[in-house]
Structure 1
Amino acid sequence: MASAVKKLVVCGGNGFLGSRICKLGVQRGWEVTSISRSGEPKWEAVTDSKAPPPWARKVSWERADIFAPETYAPLMRGANYAVHSMGILLEVDYKGILSGRDSPLAGLKKVFDGQKPASAPVSTTTPGPARNTYEAMNRDSAILAAKAAAEGKVDAFAYISATAGAPGLPSRYLSTKRQAEQQLAAASESFSAEAAGFPTPLNRPIFIRAPFLYDVHARPFTAPIAAVAGAGTVLNNFTGGALTGFLGSMVTKPMKADEVAEAVIEALSDESVNGAIEVPRLAQLATKGWRNGML
């Protein structure tokens, strides 16, 4: 008797990594749903073509507001797996700068203002620009999605975190990622789920501590950055890890975006995988996932 088709929901499935997770889910024969504010991706932003790839026809591209769980909670019900892939690297309103509402100088100030106070939790009434903060996107949106996943009895929830910060990034980039991990881990324990505001314990949270991601075809500008990070990794290993605290992800071996997507799919599939997954384990899962995908 054939097993039932697995169902995967990707919050942020139209992004650089999220779209690749959707692709590999489809290649596994899963039923894949993407949740985002805009629906289907702008393909030239995530691939090397403006045309949608063939696999995209097998994904349900749903529009929903991550800060309004009622718009996507029904999609979580009956799903086997869910992924949150919606964090931000920089706190900049790119549309505001391009439209002239904000000056480039003001945008740069926002990027490098590491002393900016933490923002309050967002809601459906919070103005759009106020949502573009580390606290909102890296932490609060993940917790809201995880609550919907817990209520929907999803079997495993993967959160795309980060292995480390990087020079020039405010410390809040990484600290909000870790705060999300801590709250999701607490929500998986029956005695603390209610205290964390979860209706029911969260099943098998997985924290994907990804390094710098690159794709030489879809995003050529990531190739030289990856090369620098790769060289930094060699130097850091030579110095016994002395540069890790200062340079963070720039001395951590980068990975192809497709490799991390493979690792995410494999981590969800393997019931023994849970908690924080660092780069060496991600590489192992990616290799295992590639082999399983070829079967």
Structure 2
Amino acid sequence: MAKKIVVCGGNGFLGSRICKVAVGRGWDVTSISRSGEPTWSAVTSSPNAPPWSSSVKWQKADILKPETYKPMLNGADAVVHSMGILLEADYKGVITGKESPWSGLSRAFSATKGGSQNPLERKEGEALEPQEKDGQLTYELMNRDSAITLAQEASSQNVPSFVFISAAAGAPMLPKRYITTKRDAESTIASSLPKLRSIFIRPGFLYDSSRLFTMPIAAAGSVGNMVNAMMGGRLSWIAGAAVEKPLKPDLVAEAVVEAIEEGAVKGVVGTSDIEALATKAWRRGML
């Protein structure tokens, strides 16, 4: 029986590929994002919409305003959160002269920032209100609070499965809050919504030839991963994602859809499990 999934962030680099794989299985697929259909040149090597995209419902909604997407969750078998941010927007204030470079760096690497009101105390359907004075989209807001809220709304609609695209680790060039907010989201969702089958996908760096700048980074990451393996993993706590095996987004997308299909998969899904699920999906497709 065909499944129905809703991919929040389905017009992104990974989200669009999750939609593609799900469509390939004959599933009913809805993508939710602020802009609707992707700008294809930003997520693929072509500016033209691929044939499979006509099978996706490209809906516009605001992840911070549950009332804009809640009706779309009704009847879904799984909801995917693929809307985290890698970098915060402090640099914009510096570039425009609204903020000094020192102030911008201090904010970017501060120990804490405001997210929204406590999502666990939020009323059903209540919008998330950014707590930073300038409304900045912080790690706390996008990587943590929006994921918790989406999981809550999915649970209220009796959606059985929830997938959160997390990350394998942080990286030396990123603020520590990038990964701690993702881990906070995982633990909060798992503990506060025990009836929801939560799947936490933790890939390393994602690369693809459609984004040429990712290729040398992935090559360096592959070397780092091999060196780390030779050293028994002793570099992981220092370098984080920089020594985690890079993965192609198509492979991760296959793993996400296979995890949804496999009812026994739940909890943390790391790199080796992602690869195993993708291999299983490939074998399924060969039958």
**1:100-249 residue pairs with structure 2 within 5 A?**
100=96, 105=101, 109=105, 113-121=108-116, 123-124=127-128, 126=130, 130-189=135-194, 201=195, 203-216=196-209, 218-249=210-241
Instruction: Give the superposition deviation at 1:131.
Output: 4.4
Partner amino acid for 1:86?
Answer: M
Give me the whole-angstrom Cα distance separating, in 1, the residues matched to 2:204 and 2:187.
19
The answer to which of 127-136 and 83-92 deviates more is 127-136
Instruction: Give the superposition deviation at 1:290.
Output: 2.0
Contact 2:7 2:19 in 1 (8 A): yes
Instruction: Give the superposition deviation at 1:153.
Output: 1.0
The answer to which of 126-135 and 274-283 deviates more is 126-135
Match of 1:26 in 2: 23
TM-score normalized with structure 1 length: 0.87
Deviations 1:151-186 (A, max 9, x none): 111121000001100111111000000000001101
Instruction: Give the superposition deviation at 1:107.
Output: 9.7
What SS class does the counterpart of residue 135 from structure 2 fall into?
helix
Match of 2:124 in 1: none
Contact 2:64 2:129 in 1 (8 A): no
CA separation of 1:85 and 1:131: change in aligned 2, threshold 3 A: farther
Between the aligned residues of both structures, percent identity stands at 51
Give me the whole-angstrom Cα distance separating, in 2, the residues matched to 1:252 and 1:44.
28
The answer to which of 239-248 and 128-137 deviates more is 128-137
CA RMSD of aligned residues (A): 2.2
Question: In structure 2, which of residues 12, 17, 39 is the aligned counterpart of residue 15 of structure 1?
Answer: 12
Match of 2:120 in 1: none
What SS class does the counterpart of residue 78 from structure 1 fall into?
coil
Give me the whole-angstrom Cα distance separating, in 2, the residues matched to 1:108 and 1:239.
37
Match of 1:256 in 2: 248
Instruction: Give the superposition deviation at 1:21.
Output: 0.4
Instruction: Give the superposition deviation at 1:206.
Output: 0.3
Give me the whole-angstrom Cα distance separating, in 2, the residues matched to 1:188 and 1:155.
11
1:69 counterpart = 2:66: yes
Give me the whole-angstrom Cα distance separating, in 2, the residues matched to 1:52 and 1:107.
42
Give me the whole-angstrom Cα distance separating, in 2, the residues matched to 1:28 and 1:79.
15
CA separation of 1:102 and 1:49: change in aligned 2, threshold 3 A: farther
Give me the whole-angstrom Cα distance separating, in 1, the residues matched to 2:49 and 2:271.
30
What SS class does the counterpart of residue 88 from structure 1 fall into?
coil
Alignment size in residue pairs: 277
CA separation of 1:250 and 1:154: change in aligned 2, threshold 3 A: same
TM-score normalized with structure 2 length: 0.90
Give me the whole-angstrom Cα distance separating, in 2, the residues matched to 1:234 and 1:104.
40
Contact 2:115 2:138 in 1 (8 A): no
Contact 1:9 1:32 in 2 (8 A): yes
CA separation of 1:63 and 1:110: change in aligned 2, threshold 3 A: farther
CA separation of 1:158 and 1:110: change in aligned 2, threshold 3 A: farther
The answer to which of 282-291 and 221-230 deviates more is 282-291
Match of 1:42 in 2: 39
Contact 1:92 1:110 in 2 (8 A): no
Deviations 1:191-226 (A, max 9, x none): xxxxxxxxxx4x20000011100001x101101100
CA separation of 1:222 and 1:102: change in aligned 2, threshold 3 A: farther
Partner amino acid for 1:115?
Answer: S
Match of 1:59 in 2: 56
Instruction: Give the superposition deviation at 1:102.
Output: 5.6
CA separation of 1:184 and 1:244: change in aligned 2, threshold 3 A: same
Contact 2:222 2:245 in 1 (8 A): yes
Give me the whole-angstrom Cα distance separating, in 2, the residues matched to 1:171 and 1:28.
38
Contact 1:27 1:293 in 2 (8 A): no
Deviations 1:47-104 (A, max 9, x none): 1111111111111011111111111111111011110000011112677778x47679
What SS class does the counterpart of residue 283 from structure 1 fall into?
helix
Give me the whole-angstrom Cα distance separating, in 2, the residues matched to 1:256 and 1:281.
14
What SS class does the counterpart of residue 130 from structure 1 fall into?
coil
Partner amino acid for 1:234?
Answer: M
CA separation of 1:83 and 1:101: change in aligned 2, threshold 3 A: farther
